[in-house]
Structure 1
């Protein structure tokens, strides 16, 4: 008798209604990009394999396709179920080179690498910069004071966990404008964006 085939866990499903659910996720993301630092509700009706969060999964399924390589941080890349889920539902090739990916998914915000490691865009094509999507536990007001397009006056912003020098990294990212990365932070049911146009208020 032939040996039994090894058990293969069932693949977690994607969106039940891909068109409408991805549209809602995209609208939430575009709203967050238009008003940096403001927190928006993010519908993420998914149960992806850990350590991928529903919010990271929702944005990946909305943004990535077979023409858009994805970079995964060490936590996500180490999980075969996560890699399989993303490959099946997006068709996106995975790359170990952060500079080669239009989109990056980071599960561990505190271990975020240098933003300069990701695609910064080119002088003639700044739109080729990466969007770096980072999972955090919470997004709230303060201690950063943000200014720039889409912000009336100043906006207080904070999220955790993030690197201790996150403010310095954000300031350095702005100095390269119009180059630099666009940051998207997701917490349970929430999303906020820090595009490369945002700057820290002086003296704040």
Structure 2
């Protein structure tokens, strides 16, 4: 185990995790609105924002799918040491981490009518959270919120399955936004 595996976690775990958890909650409660999130320094190519989300939301009970573009020995070691989240196939994932083109959407769980909560949450790495490409409407949004999404059609289809579907966190550098499955999406 090298020093890069052991470093990069929260410096003050209780305080940093509380701040990161609050950012995750705020992002999901206010779809498309950016939130600062910091405190993690994961191995490249993972952003500090995605690292903070992993440190906050994953543990040994939350199977994680790593998309091919991010599935490196350094990142696997960092996740094993800091989060203990078991790496799994897409069909078993509670969380999935990757760039949008690398995420196999048709293989993830979307819940069942009796248990819609048994679905995946995607943690999507992005280069930037701006400029906006979509207009969002729905719970947590007063009138509308413009946001950058990596695509439009998959989110429109995801909303059509509600209450089934997936939820998303979008991460870029030290910023985070979210899109719950209850949000209506249209292209700008």
The residue number in structure 1 matching 2:157 is 172
Pick from 21, 25, 28: which aligns with 1:30? Answer: 25
Cα offset, 1:99, TM superposition: 2.1
Decide whether the 8 Å contact of 1:101 with 1:130 is kept in 2: yes
1:121 aligns with 2:106: no
Q: Larger Cα Rg: Structure 1 or Structure 2?
A: 1
Aligned residue for 1:140, secondary structure, equals: coil
Name the one with the larger strand percent.
Answer: 1
| Two-structure CA RMSD over aligned residues (Å) | 1.7
Distance 1:144 1:94 in 2: 32
Gaps of 5+ in 1: 1-7
CA gap of 1:127–1:149, structure 2 versus 1, over 3 A, is: same
> After superposition, what is the alpha-carbon deviation per residue over 1:49-68, rounded to whole angstroms, capped at 9, x for unaligned?
22222211111111111111
Cα offset, 1:141, TM superposition: 5.0
**How do 1:3-152 and structure 2 match up within 5 A?**
9-10=2-3, 11-13=5-7, 14-43=9-38, 45-77=39-71, 79-95=72-88, 97-106=89-98, 108-109=99-100, 111-152=101-142
Distance 1:167 1:119 in 2: 20
TM-score normalised to structure 2 length: 0.92
Gaps of 5+ in 2: none
**Aligned residue pair count:** 186
TM-score normalised to structure 1 length: 0.85
Decide whether the 8 Å contact of 1:171 with 1:199 is kept in 2: yes
The runs of at least 4 aligned residues of structure 1 exceeding 6 Å deviation read none
Distance 1:177 1:60 in 2: 25
Distance 2:172 2:28 in 1: 16
Decide whether the 8 Å contact of 1:131 with 1:182 is kept in 2: yes
Distance 1:125 1:66 in 2: 22
